[in-house]
Amino acid sequence: MDVVVVESPAKAKTINKYLGRNYKVLASYGHVRDLPAKDGSVKPDDDFSMSWEVDGPSSKRLTEIAKAVKDADGLILATDPDREGEAISWHVLEVLRQKRALKDKPVKRVVFNAITKQSVLDAMANPREIDAPLVDAYLARRALDYLVGFTLSPVLWRKLPGARSAGRVQSVALRLVSDREAEIERFVREEYWQIAALLDTPRADRFEARLTAFEGKKLQKLDISSQAQAEDIKAMLEGAAFKALSVEAKPTKRNPAPPFTTSTLQQAASSRLGFSAVRTMQIAQRLYEGMDIGGETAGLITYMRTDGVQMAPEAITGARSAIAKEFGEKYLPEKPRYYSVKAKNAQEAHEAIRPTDFSRTPAAMRPYLDADQARLYEMIWKRAIASQMQPAEIERTTVEIEAINGLRSAGLRAVGSVIRFDGFIAAYTEQKDEDSQDEDDKRLPEIRADEALARDKILATQHSTEPPPRYSEASLIKKMEELGIGRPSTYTAILKTLEDRDYVTIDKRRLIPQSKGRLLSAFLESFFEKYVEYDFTADLEEKLDEISDGKLAWKDVLRDFWKDFSASVDDIKELRVTDVLDALNEVLAPLVFPEREDGSNPRICPKCGSGNLSLKLGKYGAFVGCSNYPECGYTRQLGDAANGNGENGAGLEDGTKSLGKDPYTSEEITLRSGRFGPYLQRGEGKEAKRSSLPKGWTPASIDHEKAVALLSLPRDVGKHPESGKMISAGLGRYGPFVLHDGTYANLESIEDVFSIGLNRAVSLLAEKQSKGRGRNGGTPAALKELGEHPDGGAITVRDGRYGPYVNHGKINATLPKGKDPASVTLEEALVLIAEKEAKGGGKKPARAKASSAKKPAAKKATGKKTTARKKEE
């Protein structure tokens, strides 16, 4: 018997079915070792030696694997087919060698791009050795990230309190978001007018044409800059005669895009489905690892971390067969389509993301998938099938029109498109970039050259130029990919880190840099400019790729980087904090010293009138204060607009800002900065009502109306039609919710708390009750649903009497101290549940009942049960 090691228990269960009794498939539960989060885990002075640490759960899992290997004939490492998967196989092998579990047993490495029986069996028939250059690339990347983080962090804590950490790639992504915000702040709007004419053909068909020239001069977008100019042109056109000078129809072909890569999948899922990058990858992981399809377990898509755009020959054959069956022979090109891209790393360029079997249509799979899984699978299937279909045939028509009024003339243009053959569009239509302007793609009626056109109406509309949009997750990933920053497996982690550390918030799917993020980015750009340059980071990524391709030695790359980087850090250590603040005052002037309505100097203290405002550093971050401190106690939070009349701060200290009186209690409402971030307070003392700011709400966005609304929570929604008890909506520890008779149901956003009606609230509560009883019913309502256990049954996070825990059936496993329930992953939960189960955890009501037969025993048993419950919950 051979032992096969994969990463996840769900995958282990599926693969075990394929391989049969001669194999024992065990899960490593992801990475088994990592660098300890302390100084000295990577030693540059000792030729970059690295100290690895195995955590508690992984240690037990590795012990199980070692025990199984000792009794086995050989070891097969079958972790994921990318750099991270190669690293996990290497870690497992290193630990097993240390445990002397292998002896002379054969070790093989197999990879499969899809979890189907055929793919797994083909991989088992073609084993290889562990790819040493790929492991070296992982070691170099992990060492670089560690050295940057642990070398910069002490500098940040001393020079920039409130900044939690900096990362090699994460800081460059933060710079992109911060630079875009600075562009928006510098942007000056310009007003302009557009002129259009609604015209009728002799056949009474109406269409719109836009002004492109006036009195012999071609017009650019901003040329009509005043209302008087626009009214003059409009009056001229209202008395003009119109004639079609030329009609040009050009047939064009539009080819389909290749199947999805990791980044294009995340972008499309964001724009089409509204999924975050994290959510997209969670669903894709589930589709890849395997679903129960009518008694057969199979992966529905290929591996979802890839930058490759090509499909395997057998997949192309399957796609062409499905096209002929689902759409018809006319949609099938004579020859297959082949795509190529300049792969950043040939050893990581796997197949594109595609269905494992094109005959599994979205409609056929819908009964086996939940709503989000079905939507993502349908998008992947359609994009992949479209990539092998005929091009769309489009006729684009341009009509040039002349307007004459006496001696004055104007030129107008009408543009439209007609789809003559839909081709691949029948399966999948590319959406326009979410940040681009819509083109005029209207269909035009029949228009003939030299015919007169009748004027119906002349439209003059005022517009203003718009600043560049903030990045969304999708557009930031696209930009990083264009710049060569990050790789398919890193995008999601980068975005999550920026949000988790409160460097950015996401509002209406847009990334908004927070003050601490802007400060950190400005600090790094001022004193570590080289290391947040886009070209430098991209060049380093290329070197890491060359390591994985066997072209560079990984320690040579580390030596070159460390020599200059450590010297830069040593230089910064000598800087005084005042030097840092002076530099940041300059770089962040629009944020720190916004212009005042009265035009006065934004750097003069509005309270004392003589002091200069400057950034100050406190225990919990930066704020703006007066140079005349302590005589003048004026302060305000970074990012708050300055009030020239001295009311900002209202004479209060410690960054407290007055927002006015509560209309119902007449108590003062203030915005304050506390240990855990900004919060609102009504009144003073122990009885004061307080509320933290909900996710996505920044201190700068809080006004009197929002403050009153937050402090008035919870809000009564209405009485439940069955129980007659009140349903309330509020903001709690785990976000917005509705509550009825002990049952909580989560809401998507804080806006829902203020707008949700009775019918929707009742529906949400009913859904929640169908998944788990309310607190008054015994089992607490689920705070978060993580997914299915490999043995069946849902895994949830709940909040019990003694704290948060994960639940599967009758097994409750307490979360480690300090672990945020909202951040628990399915893999972490599986480990906790496995440990609890190994200890004999779970509720055993039958034993408890039996033990109550004798009074002394009952008393003792009750005590034991109470202790057990404390540990579980």
At 333-353, the pLDDT tens digits run 999 999 887 544 433 447 899
Q: CA of 316: how far to CAs of 313, 326, 355, 468, 635, in Å?
A: 5, 15, 11, 40, 65
CB 96 within 8 A of CB 75: yes
Parts of the chain belonging to CATH 3.40.50.140 = 2-130
- Rounded Cα–Cα distance for residues 444 and 414 (Å): 8
Token pair 């119109």: residue: 242
Mean pLDDT taken over the chain: 83
CB-count exposure of residue 184 (10 Å: 0-12, 13-18, 19+): middle
- Rounded Cα–Cα distance for residues 670 and 656 (Å): 7
Q: DSSP letter string over 609-629? A: SSSBEEEEEETTEEEEEETTT
Q: In this predicted structure, what is the pLDDT of residue 483?
A: 87
Q: In this predicted structure, what is the pLDDT of residue 102?
A: 87
* Residue 165, token pair as written in the block: 């950490």
pLDDT at position 847 over 50 = no
- Rounded Cα–Cα distance for residues 762 and 237 (Å): 58
- Rounded Cα–Cα distance for residues 751 and 207 (Å): 41
pLDDT at position 329 over 90 = yes
Share of the chain above pLDDT 70, in %: 89
Number of continuous H segments (helices) and E segments (strands) in the chain:
25, 32
- Rounded Cα–Cα distance for residues 386 and 331 (Å): 10
Report the pLDDT averaged over residues 409-416.
95
Report the pLDDT averaged over residues 571-577.
78
Q: In this predicted structure, what is the pLDDT of residue 838?
A: 74
| 661 φ, ψ (degrees, to nearest 5) | -95, 150
| Out of 91-100, 431-440, 501-510, 517-526, least confident range | 431-440
Q: In this predicted structure, what is the pLDDT of residue 841?
A: 57
Kindly list the catalytic residues: 303
Question: Mind listing the pLDDT tens digit for each residue in 553-567?
Answer: 999 999 999 988 888
* Residue 855, token pair as written in the block: 């009074």
Give the model's confidence band at 269: pLDDT under 50 very low, under 70 low, under 90 confident, else very high.
Answer: very high
Q: In this predicted structure, what is the pLDDT of residue 348?
A: 43
| Out of 188-202, 457-471, 848-862, least confident range | 848-862
Question: Mind listing the pLDDT tens digit for each residue in 118-157?
Answer: 889 999 999 999 999 999 999 999 998 888 888 887 777 7
* Residue 16, token pair as written in the block: 């075990």
pLDDT at position 534 over 50 = yes
Q: In this predicted structure, what is the pLDDT of residue 432?
A: 58
Report the pLDDT averaged over residues 69-90.
90
CB 134 within 8 A of CB 84: no
Q: Which long-range contacts (CB under 8 A, 24 or more apart) does 64-67 make?
A: 64/26, 65/3, 65/5, 65/26, 65/28, 65/92, 65/96, 66/95, 66/96, 66/99, 66/101, 67/101
Question: Mind listing the pLDDT tens digit for each residue in 461-486?
Answer: 999 999 999 999 889 988 988 888 87
CB 305 within 8 A of CB 82: yes
Please report which residue ranges of 99-169 form alpha helices under DSSP H.
117-124, 132-159
- Rounded Cα–Cα distance for residues 676 and 256 (Å): 50
Nearest to 559 by CA among 45, 36, 169: 45
* Residue 754, token pair as written in the block: 């203020």
Report the pLDDT averaged over residues 225-248.
95
CB 258 within 8 A of CB 268: no
CB atoms within 10 A of CB 100: 9
Parts of the chain belonging to CATH 1.10.460.10 = 170-185+469-579
Q: In this predicted structure, what is the pLDDT of residue 523?
A: 86
Distance of CA 662 to the CA centre of its chain: 37
Report the pLDDT averaged over residues 265-293.
89
Report helix, strand or coil for 105. coil
- Rounded Cα–Cα distance for residues 496 and 226 (Å): 46
Q: In this predicted structure, what is the pLDDT of residue 777?
A: 43
pLDDT at position 28 over 60 = yes
Q: In this predicted structure, what is the pLDDT of residue 646?
A: 35
Give CATH superfamily name and number for 170-185+469-579. Topoisomerase I, domain 2 (1.10.460.10)
Q: In this predicted structure, what is the pLDDT of residue 752?
A: 85
Q: In this predicted structure, what is the pLDDT of residue 849?
A: 36
pLDDT at position 830 over 90 = no
Q: In this predicted structure, what is the pLDDT of residue 117?
A: 87
| Out of 59-73, 272-286, 342-356, 724-738, least confident range | 342-356
Q: In this predicted structure, what is the pLDDT of residue 851?
A: 37
pLDDT at position 391 over 90 = yes
Q: In this predicted structure, what is the pLDDT of residue 412?
A: 97
Question: Mind listing the pLDDT tens digit for each residue in 721-751?
Answer: 888 889 999 888 778 899 988 788 888 888 8
Question: Mind listing the pLDDT tens digit for each residue in 672-693?
Answer: 876 566 888 998 877 788 888 8
- Enter the pTM of the model: 0.70
Report helix, strand or coil for 716. strand
| Out of 155-164, 185-194, 295-304, 525-534, least confident range | 155-164
CB 806 within 8 A of CB 800: no
CB atoms within 10 A of CB 32: 23
Report helix, strand or coil for 77. strand
- Rounded Cα–Cα distance for residues 696 and 508 (Å): 9
CB atoms within 10 A of CB 381: 26
Q: In this predicted structure, what is the pLDDT of residue 816?
A: 83
Report the pLDDT averaged over residues 420-428.
93
Give CATH superfamily name and number for 191-255+393-464. Topoisomerase I, domain 3 (2.70.20.10)
CATH entry, 2-130, from 2.40.10.170, 3.40.50.720, 3.40.50.140, 3.70.10.10:
3.40.50.140
Q: In this predicted structure, what is the pLDDT of residue 372?
A: 92
Q: In this predicted structure, what is the pLDDT of residue 654?
A: 45
Q: In this predicted structure, what is the pLDDT of residue 768?
A: 79
pLDDT at position 83 over 80 = yes
Share of the chain above pLDDT 90, in %: 35
Q: In this predicted structure, what is the pLDDT of residue 208?
A: 94
Q: Which CATH topology does 262-390 take?
A: Topoisomerase I; domain 4 (1.10.290)
- Rounded Cα–Cα distance for residues 366 and 860 (Å): 52
Q: In this predicted structure, what is the pLDDT of residue 780?
A: 60
E strands of 752-793, at which residues? 782-788
pLDDT at position 868 over 80 = no
Q: In this predicted structure, what is the pLDDT of residue 676?
A: 63
Q: In this predicted structure, what is the pLDDT of residue 636?
A: 77
CB 815 within 8 A of CB 828: no
